[in-house]
Structure 1
Amino acid sequence: MSTVTYLGMPPFPQAAEVSTKDERLRGNLRHATHTIRDKRATAVAELADWPELRSAGARIKDHTLRHLDHYLEQLEEAVTAAGGTVHWAADAEEANRIVTRLVRDTGEREVVKVKSMATQEIGLNEALERAGIAACETDLAELIVQLGDDHPSHILVPAIHRNRGEIREIFRTRMGHWGRAAPEGLTDDPADLAEAARLHLREKFLNAKVGVSGANFMVAESGTLVVVESEGNGRMCLSLPETLISVVGIEKIVPTWRDLEVFLQLLPRSSTAERMNPYTSMWTGTTEGDGPRHFHLVLLDNGRTDILADQVGRQTLRCIRCSACLNVCPVYERAGGHAYGSPYPGPIGAILTPQLDSMATGLDASLPYASSLCGACYEVCPVAIDIPEVLVHLRERVVQGGTVTVRGQRTTVKPARGHAAERAAMRAAAWTFDHPGVLRAGERLASRARRMVPHRVPGPGRAWTDTRDLPALPPESFRDWWRRTRGPGRDAAQSRGGADGREGAAG
């Protein structure tokens, strides 16, 4: 099963209740997300064909997912022909077992890592640690998170919740435990912090025999893997070690180099607001005298084929991990990434984590509600994932239960606890809408009793009305208004030359 959620994490409402009270966290998030999204908007506006690129990206992803079996087999053949070895991992446990064995076979007890969402998803660092192997993160933000015994809170900038003073203290007190210590007299100046990280990591790069990475894309026709990044640490991890192990979700595949061109335009502008990434590293198998001598590709399922079986939820697999949805989400901006209890925070995490976990925990059942359904996430998504649609779809599963696919088997899941009142309300609403006479009578009764409706709801609904008023009821229903102003009687009056009729006015 998936290990995507952090152990001991409470449901989203409880976690968010704590994080929203942290004024420093909210200040850090507000400044960072507003800065990133403003820059992104400028970068996207430079391309007149951005809507067409977005549509092309969605179409390529949908086509690939429909024929995923074919392209994965093509990729395996191409990687093998180029000198690499392909491993298939059904779940997190199997992937961790494969990687641990491959590292042990080298005789090494330390690996350097490129920032990778897939390895965070499966808990690879923890699995390697249990096997006596140290996994050293080399992305600057991931290094900060690792040294601080922390969890990432953002897909693009995992240490977005930390300020310079906190980072200085982490480097000063923790860097020496992992390797080269921070320089004496370290300040919180960004250049000094970056230099301390560079000196620490350079030592790691030059001694590393094993590198571990993910990949942003895999090209089926050639077996090429692609990593895009901004610091150059990825290039070091991908080229210096003797053995390279890449753990990649099966949905990261694209059919051809021509398809890759579309995503290399979409991703940098949506993530870092750059026209192109400073470092775009590509490798195909192994080459004598150039780069690693041994290359292993671990293709990770871990719930992805179950998501693929869901006609509404499968669009989640289009995601290219740009984080644009996080930067516009009002819920994420206030609650922060840790409240989502997963390596995948924000709107994409609210739909991806529950599906990977098959709604197995209370946290999973709460995440589809971690949204205002404002639609801002859909508007900025470079591959047009309708996140609000998937959220509503998952909320229905939480409340009603139903048939889903779990590890390839059709399974009936029960409704989550705590939603009995919502379930009853939805059933009552469905019955009412199926009986127009009852609906009409209810609307008229509500209109006549509108002065008696309170501004606050007692009982379970109190939490909702603590921060908003109930909408005022109109004096008449829409149906009655339409019948009075547009109904058959109105048309007859107009034809007789009534005060508002066209013929009467013309006469």
Structure 2
Amino acid sequence: MSGTYLGMPSFPRAAADSTRDMRLRGNLRHATHTIRAKRAQAVEELGDWAELREAGAALKERTLRHLDHYLEQLEAAVTAAGGVVHWAADADDANRIVTELVRETGESEVVKVKSMATQEIGLNEALAKAGISAYETDLAELIVQLGDDLPSHILVPAIHRNRDQIRDIFRKQMGSWGRAAPEGLSDDPAELAEAARLHLREKFLSAKVGISGANFMVAETGTLVVVESEGNGRMCLTLPETLISVVGIEKLVPTWQDLEVFLQTLPRSSTAERMNPYTSTWTGTTDDDGPSAFHLVLLDNGRTDALADTVGRQALRCIRCSACLNVCPVYERAGGHAYGSPYPGPIGAILTPQLRGVQSDLDASLPYASSLCGACYEVCPVAIDIPEVLVHLRERVVEGGTAVVRGQKTKIKPAKGHAAERALMRAARWAFDHPRAMRAGQRLAARGRRFTPRRLPVTAAGKAWSASRDLPRPAPQSFRDWWRHTRRDGGGSDAPRTGKESAE
């Protein structure tokens, strides 16, 4: 992924800093609560939402099972329509291809419509090294770029900024990137939007090269689809002479009819709208209409490896709606930057470690950036069982094992710092396999419950656990013993039969 994110601290360290920023937490709380309340209302309008969700999951799963077939079909359709398809195995490949394509045009500036894939590969930084300036045109992405910042949300990348911060960024930075902000610019949303519109209009009218992502690619026709709310996408996709689209290979749908499902679920889950204000579709090139040259860069960058994992591959269903971020209690308090990835929140916690591996401290910590409450699964419009994948990845971090890396089965070593956790889990496994020993341990713990410490012993693992929670006091009686007493006494009471202990 992008070099911008390399060297960032592990999630617990980054989150420890961000959770102390009261302004950030206030911004996040207000924004996420507002978005999720509107989303819930929009979803309730559809009586068949559960069926749409199930259909979306099934469509994505079928496509992933036959991804090789649909990719070949897509390539043939795009080529027949006048486009050129490029295959990028990783970020370096993709950056090299795009840089060479821009250089061939002789241009030194490009305009971009928001693309998570280009953030993932660090395209802006790669273009800058080649002397090419990339201008973001999505309003939130513009704010992030002008502020020399990083995105912190999938749908609203500048969610961590409030209006007065945005006003200050526009006043100080717009002039160095193009048209300056108007004199006396206030923090009124209408004035901020107008300043951005005037600044960007200059870029749209002069740019000869546009770079985009895509929400969907239709295999049967070679059509790409972008949905957005501001109209900047329409400008980037139609005005430049050359259009380069960088898209992850998982964004495929087999047929036009399949779009029917996602064009209902995506807007309601993301912006709480019944439909997106702008839905742009394009197929190759046509004479005297739109770009005269179209290049599609199909990005792997770890997706094939994730596809080989029958549990983890669920993450590739994601349609980037961001609903999981808006309901996640961890994201709400820690913010997106703590995840050290263009993909923050619950989906990032399962997608990033599969794309990048779990070798670094940051990536090994991401599967733990969750309370496993399951709210993310409940709102996901394609039914990704994020808690299941989180637990699956935690096992990989702690135990190691076999995984596919760059197309090859590879033995993954356990991550450092989890020896105590491994020992504890193995002890628990042994106890569950030996019921008598388990019962004896439960009774011993119940008898000594009043002496249970609130904190674990001062070890690395104990300190990490106790930093955010108290050690739970054992129950006065195990369920097995309670059931035995209840059956023996006739089953009339559901209270433990231990007198003094049960009164504590």
TM-score normalized by structure 1? 0.95
Tell me the equivalent position of 1:504. Answer: none
Larger radius of gyration: 1
Tell me the equivalent position of 2:498. Answer: none
| Higher mean C-alpha deviation, range 465-474 or range 394-403 | 465-474
Tell me the equivalent position of 1:84. Answer: 83
CA distance in 1, matches of 2:472, 2:427: 20
Contact 2:88/2:299 (8 A) holds in 1: yes
- The amino acid across from 2:371 in the alignment is S
5 Å-filtered alignment, 1:95-244, equals 95-244=94-243
- The amino acid across from 2:34 in the alignment is T
- Tell me how far 1:412 sits from its aligned partner: 0.5
Tell me the equivalent position of 1:276. Answer: 275
- Tell me how far 1:365 sits from its aligned partner: 0.4
| Higher mean C-alpha deviation, range 246-255 or range 162-171 | 162-171
- Tell me how far 1:485 sits from its aligned partner: 2.6
Listed one character per residue, the Cα deviations across residues 383-415 of structure 1 (whole Å, up to 9, x for unaligned) are 000111111111111111111000000001111
Q: Tell me the secondary structure at the aligned position of residue 5 of structure 2.
A: coil
- The amino acid across from 1:323 in the alignment is S
Q: 1:197 to 1:234 in 2, by over 3 A?
A: same
- Tell me how far 1:5 sits from its aligned partner: 6.8
Tell me the equivalent position of 1:361. Answer: 360
Tell me the equivalent position of 1:481. Answer: 482
Contact 2:404/2:410 (8 A) holds in 1: yes
- The amino acid across from 1:483 in the alignment is R
Listed one character per residue, the Cα deviations across residues 151-184 of structure 1 (whole Å, up to 9, x for unaligned) are 0000000011111111111111111111111111
- Tell me how far 1:475 sits from its aligned partner: 2.7
Contact 1:4/1:353 (8 A) holds in 2: no
Contact 1:6/1:341 (8 A) holds in 2: yes
Listed one character per residue, the Cα deviations across residues 12-63 of structure 1 (whole Å, up to 9, x for unaligned) are 1111111111111111001000000000000000001000000000000000
Contact 2:486/2:492 (8 A) holds in 1: no
- Tell me how far 1:456 sits from its aligned partner: 2.9
Task: Answer yes or no: is 1:351 the counterpart of 2:311.
Answer: no
CA distance in 2, matches of 1:466, 1:183: 49
- The amino acid across from 1:139 in the alignment is D
Contact 1:78/1:221 (8 A) holds in 2: yes
Listed one character per residue, the Cα deviations across residues 224-265 of structure 1 (whole Å, up to 9, x for unaligned) are 000000000000000000000000000000001111110000
Moved over 4 A (4+): none
CA distance in 2, matches of 1:23, 1:387: 28
- Tell me how far 1:465 sits from its aligned partner: 3.7
Listed one character per residue, the Cα deviations across residues 262-292 of structure 1 (whole Å, up to 9, x for unaligned) are 0000100000000000000000000111100
- The amino acid across from 1:280 in the alignment is T
- Tell me how far 1:466 sits from its aligned partner: 4.9
CA distance in 2, matches of 1:499, 1:8: 61
Listed one character per residue, the Cα deviations across residues 316-341 of structure 1 (whole Å, up to 9, x for unaligned) are 00000000000001111111111111
5 Å-filtered alignment, 1:371-382, equals 371-382=370-381
Q: Tell me the secondary structure at the aligned position of residue 433 of structure 1.
A: helix
Task: Answer yes or no: is 1:256 the counterpart of 2:255.
Answer: yes
- The amino acid across from 1:400 in the alignment is E
Contact 1:4/1:356 (8 A) holds in 2: no
Contact 2:2/2:119 (8 A) holds in 1: no
CA distance in 2, matches of 1:262, 1:499: 52
Task: Please report the RMSD computed on the Cα atoms of aligned residues, expressed in angstroms.
Answer: 1.5
Tell me the equivalent position of 1:503. Answer: none
| Higher mean C-alpha deviation, range 182-191 or range 22-31 | 182-191
Tell me the equivalent position of 1:56. Answer: 55
- Tell me how far 1:477 sits from its aligned partner: 1.8
Q: Tell me the secondary structure at the aligned position of residue 459 of structure 1.
A: coil
Listed one character per residue, the Cα deviations across residues 434-456 of structure 1 (whole Å, up to 9, x for unaligned) are 12221122122222222222233
TM-score normalized by structure 2? 0.95
Q: Tell me the secondary structure at the aligned position of residue 290 of structure 1.
A: coil
Contact 1:368/1:391 (8 A) holds in 2: yes
- The amino acid across from 1:480 in the alignment is D
- Tell me how far 1:90 sits from its aligned partner: 0.4
Tell me the equivalent position of 1:306. Answer: 305
Q: 1:499 to 1:293 in 2, by over 3 A?
A: closer
Contact 2:88/2:301 (8 A) holds in 1: yes
Tell me the equivalent position of 1:505. Answer: none
Q: Which runs of 5+ in 1 are unaligned?
A: 501-507
- Tell me how far 1:462 sits from its aligned partner: 4.2
